[in-house]
């Protein structure tokens, strides 16, 4: 990928890696955070931990340790309900929150004043667990590719006040070419070259390729938490990120 696709945003390099805390309990999450230490400064907390209860207490626990938090609950409901959920998240100290849905939902969420807390809204485009066959199952026309759908959703999200999108690194280059670099691209489905195990992620990319395609942040879960040495695995990814941005 061309080097000019690299993000030029003033994001500390160590914060470009977001570790997904996709575990069952607070104790498991806290143990992983403590094990990773300074190898990870940014964490994604999603539905799995939401179901463990006391979700915002875990967000507070992470922030008290100097960590940044990505609230990944993919808010999707009637516009007024999503708007109120964003209002609530605005005051919890999280950096990112995800939303899903049509134009009315994104417009309602994007209209919430988030200037005080600094919360940034990320619209989900197409989950990295989906491929063309899944789009067929969902009823999308055959002539619409995954890239077309990602671009369509991203255009609407930005127009309605979202700060960025969740997108596979596979579509990041097209997003940058079509929509520029004024919004955030957060890419899950990241798999280091030495971690190509089978799982439910179908559209994956290595850290370097995703960054060179235009991703601002990388979300990594299983390759870190499932490693024999999670700290070492996270540091290897951090070193790869640093090498990409080295001048």
The tens digit of pLDDT for each residue in 129-170 reads: 555 565 566 566 566 677 788 888 899 999 999 999 999 888
- pLDDT at residue 152, rounded to an integer: 87
Q: Give me the mean pLDDT over the 64-82 stretch.
A: 96
Report, in this order, helix, strand and coil percent for the chain, each rounded to 5: 45, 15, 40
Contact 93, 69 (CB under 8 A): yes
The tens digit of pLDDT for each residue in 185-234 reads: 999 989 886 545 555 454 468 999 999 999 999 999 999 999 999 999 99
Q: Which residues are catalytic?
A: 74
Give the integer Cα–Cα distance in Å for 197 and 194: 9
Average pLDDT, the chain: 89
Q: How confident is the model at residue 2 (pLDDT cuts 50, 70, 90)?
A: very low
- Residue 32 CA, distance from chain mean position: 19
The tens digit of pLDDT for each residue in 96-110 reads: 999 988 899 999 999
- pLDDT at residue 110, rounded to an integer: 95
- pLDDT at residue 9, rounded to an integer: 94
Percent of the chain with pLDDT over 90: 71
Query: Among 221, 236, 244, which residue's Cα sits nearest to residue 19?
Result: 221
Query: Among 233, 240, 99, which residue's Cα sits nearest to residue 158?
Result: 99
Domains of the chain: 14-245 (3.20.20.70)
Q: How confident is the model at residue 3 (pLDDT cuts 50, 70, 90)?
A: very low
Q: Report the sign of the C-alpha dihedral through residues 124, 106, 8, 119, in that order.
A: negative
Phi then psi dihedrals of residue 100, to 5 deg: -130, 165
Query: Among 67, 179, 210, 114, which residue's Cα sits nearest to residue 99?
Result: 114
Query: Among 81, 76, 59, which residue's Cα sits nearest to residue 123?
Result: 76
């Amino acid at each position: 990928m061309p080097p000019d696709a690299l993000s030029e945003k003033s994001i500390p390099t160590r914060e470009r890696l977001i570790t997904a805390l996709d575990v069952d309990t607070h104790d498991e999450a806290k143990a992983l955070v403590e094990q990773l230490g300074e190898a990870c400064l940014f964490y994604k907390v999603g539905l799995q931990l939401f179901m463990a209860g006391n979700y915002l207490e875990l967000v507070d626990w992470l922030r008290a340790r100097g960590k940044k938090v990505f609230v990944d609950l993919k808010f999707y409901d009637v516009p007024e309900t999503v708007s109120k959920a964003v209002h609530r998240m605005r005051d919890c100290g999280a950096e990112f929150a995800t939303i899903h849905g049509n134009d009315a939902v994104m417009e309602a969420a994007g209209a919430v004043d988030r200037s005080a807390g600094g919360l940034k809204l990320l619209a989900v485009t197409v989950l990295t667990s989906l491929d063309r066959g899944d789009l067929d199952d969902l009823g999308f026309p055959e002539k619409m590719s995954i890239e077309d759908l990602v671009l369509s959703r991203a255009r609407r999200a930005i127009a309605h006040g979202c700060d960025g999108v969740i997108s596979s690194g596979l579509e990041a280059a097209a997003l940058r070419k079509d929509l520029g670099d004024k919004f955030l691209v957060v890419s899950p489905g990241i798999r280091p070259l030495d971690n190509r195990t089978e799982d439910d992620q179908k559209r994956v990319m290595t850290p370097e390729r995703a960054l060179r395609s235009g991703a601002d942040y990388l979300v990594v879960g299983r390759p870190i938490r499932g490693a024999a040495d999670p700290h070492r695995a996270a540091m290897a990814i951090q070193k790869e990120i640093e090498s990409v941005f080295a001048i």
